[in-house]
Structure 1
Amino acid sequence: MNTGEEQEDVRDTDRDFIGAFEKGLAVIEAFNASDVALTPADVAVKTGLTRAGARRYLLTLAKLGYADFDGKFFRLTPRILRLGYAYLSGASLTKLAQPILEMIGERMNEVASLTLLDGNDVMFVGRSSATRIASVSIGIGTRLPAYCTASGRVLLMHRTDAQIRQYLEGAEIQQYTEKTITDREQILAQFQQSRSDRYSVIDEEYEIGLRSIAVPVLNARNQLVCALTVSVHSSRMTPAQMVDEILPVLESGARTLASIV
């Protein structure tokens, strides 16, 4: 298996690698739930491009219909969803998980989600039908930091402490709420607790009013596949209630999914 360093060497020397395409994708990834409208200067800061270069990429996206421009700010358009549709429509994992997500969502009267690890972030790739809104900022394609989310902690908990420390050293640790744990040793302790419990509960660390619980899904070879998670408004359940009521349903769903992936 190639290490990250070996992969970087291949990228730098492979004549088939198209740097401009990489930069174009970086421009698209500069947009997220917190930054839905960006100027060329904003994109330049987030991608390392020059302001003029960022502007050219953004204008190209606008000309192709992937972005709108109001004279100052650029915003991605729904057309951008085409880039992920091929993956989502053909990914067997999301198809296999959907009935299980619906079962969990129906039993708990909450939204259940399927998440994967994408770099240092958690990505939501599947969701049950919404019965009520827990957070307007979370949907399919949403990326959240792994260190302060329930899914992130169960998706990373199977790594060694040394690997988690390496991840934390490279992660940008932000104070999202007054409850966000930012001390890296304390975060590591949270990962260790999740490893011991085989689940994780997050209490308003990413968003005030939002609590989440997640469990890992392991295949027959004991390899981590994904995570199942449920988020609720803090007024509806305490963390202890989530463990008592939601955890058994999530664990049942995880066992079912593990038996078919």
Structure 2
Amino acid sequence: MTEVSSVDAGETPAGRSAGYVQSLDRGLAVIRAFDAEHPRLTLSDVARRTGLTRAAARRFLHTLVDIGYVDADGRLFTLRPRVLELGYAYLSALGLPEIARPHLERLAAVLGESSSVSVLDGTDITYVARVAARRIMSVDLGVGTRLPAYATSMGRVLLAGLPTDELDDHLGHLVPLTRYTITERTQLLAELDRVREQGWSIVDEELEEGLRSMAAPVHDRNGDVVAAVNVSTAARRGSVTTMVDEILPHLHAAARAISDDLAASR
């Protein structure tokens, strides 16, 4: 996780609305300072990662401790399980996880592979539903997991579904995650054009060596891409052509079913 931009200015930042509440922004920045790589932080760590002064970071941390979102153990602070309420409130309002799950379960059962649904959040994708068939990645994946959109099959489907004038805001820094990761902007844009035209994406060992994934878009009733569904498999399973022949028809069927149910629920 990169450091959170400074929110410690004394006046409303440029570009914010008249109703902007800076203290809320600061409190959320403190929560976002914790991640999988930094689960335990000192006061100094939080101040550095958020851009807050130590005094401000201390006030927000103590407030979060008081209301049950952060735990303090000596000099170290950690998030408490109650912080999950913030994410679950979003997921409950979305309705997508409940709609997608039975389709993911069928897809995983038919193919014997893990399947997931994600949405675009800034330059990342966020998993909102997942059915794991077996462990194929060296990192744990679950609801709430964030991965860089540019290097994932679901991310490319979601990026390809954006209006052209919004794409730049969601690409982020193209850094190599493996020796196969596309990091040239022109090459990535060409790949997104291909994804947009064919209606699906495949990422072959670009996120993690040994992992291959394929994704298709989920549409709302207006035809807009609002989510993506994927299947992940070990690259050793077979060729990309084999994956297209054996997996893509089932993936497209699941994506259409989720889209239909999502449209009927709104």
Same fold (TM over 0.5): yes
- Distance change >3 Å, CA 52–CA 210, structure 1 → 2: farther
Equivalent residue pairs, number: 249
Name which of 13, 25, 28 aligns with 1:25.
28
Partner in structure 2 of residue 189 of structure 1? 190
Query: Which residue identity does 1:255 align to in structure 2?
Result: R
1:11 is paired with a residue of what secondary structure?
coil
- So what's the TM-score if we normalise by structure 1? 0.83
- Distance change >3 Å, CA 189–CA 34, structure 1 → 2: farther
Name which of 119, 130, 133 aligns with 1:131.
133
Moved more, 181-190 or 85-94: 85-94
- Distance change >3 Å, CA 97–CA 62, structure 1 → 2: same
1:259 is paired with a residue of what secondary structure?
helix
Is the 2:182–2:206 Cα contact (8 Å) retained in structure 1?
Answer: yes
Partner in structure 1 of residue 111 of structure 2? 108
Name which of 18, 25, 28 aligns with 1:13.
18
Is structure 2 residue 140 aligned with structure 1 residue 140? Answer: no
Q: Which deviations, in whole Å up to 9, do the C-alpha atoms of 1:16-72 show, x marking residues without a partner?
A: x32111111122123333433334444334322224433443343334332334445
Query: Which residue identity does 1:118 align to in structure 2?
Result: D
Aligned ranges for residues 164-183 of structure 1 at < 5 Å?
164-165=167-168, 167-168=170-171, 171-183=172-184
Moved more, 94-103 or 43-52: 43-52
Name which of 70, 82, 90 aligns with 1:79.
82
Q: Which deviations, in whole Å up to 9, do the C-alpha atoms of 1:72-130 show, x marking residues without a partner?
A: 543323222122223323432222111111111111112211111112211111112x3
- Distance change >3 Å, CA 182–CA 21, structure 1 → 2: same
Partner in structure 1 of residue 39 of structure 2? 36
Give distance in 1, aligned partners of 2:206 and 2:75: 33
Moved more, 146-155 or 84-93: 84-93
2:236 is paired with a residue of what secondary structure?
coil
- Distance change >3 Å, CA 105–CA 18, structure 1 → 2: same
Q: Which deviations, in whole Å up to 9, do the C-alpha atoms of 1:131-170 show, x marking residues without a partner?
A: 31123332101111111111111001023555434543xx
Partner in structure 2 of residue 5 of structure 1? none
Structure 2: stretches of 5+ with no match in the other structure = 1-12
Moved more, 150-159 or 87-96: 87-96
Give distance in 1, aligned partners of 2:62 and 2:237: 45
- Distance change >3 Å, CA 39–CA 117, structure 1 → 2: same
Query: Which residue identity does 1:228 align to in structure 2?
Result: V
Query: Which residue identity does 1:156 align to in structure 2?
Result: L
Partner in structure 2 of residue 3 of structure 1? none
Give distance in 1, aligned partners of 2:211 and 2:56: 38
Is the 1:218–1:258 Cα contact (8 Å) retained in structure 2?
Answer: yes
Superposed CA RMSD? 2.5
Structure 1: stretches of 5+ with no match in the other structure = 1-7
Give distance in 2, aligned partners of 1:242 and 1:72: 51
2:237 is paired with a residue of what secondary structure?
coil
Give distance in 1, aligned partners of 2:80 and 2:56: 21
- So what's the TM-score if we normalise by structure 2? 0.82
Is the 1:40–1:52 Cα contact (8 Å) retained in structure 2?
Answer: no
Give distance in 2, aligned partners of 1:260 and 1:183: 37
1:123 is paired with a residue of what secondary structure?
strand
Is the 2:97–2:129 Cα contact (8 Å) retained in structure 1?
Answer: yes
- Distance change >3 Å, CA 31–CA 126, structure 1 → 2: same
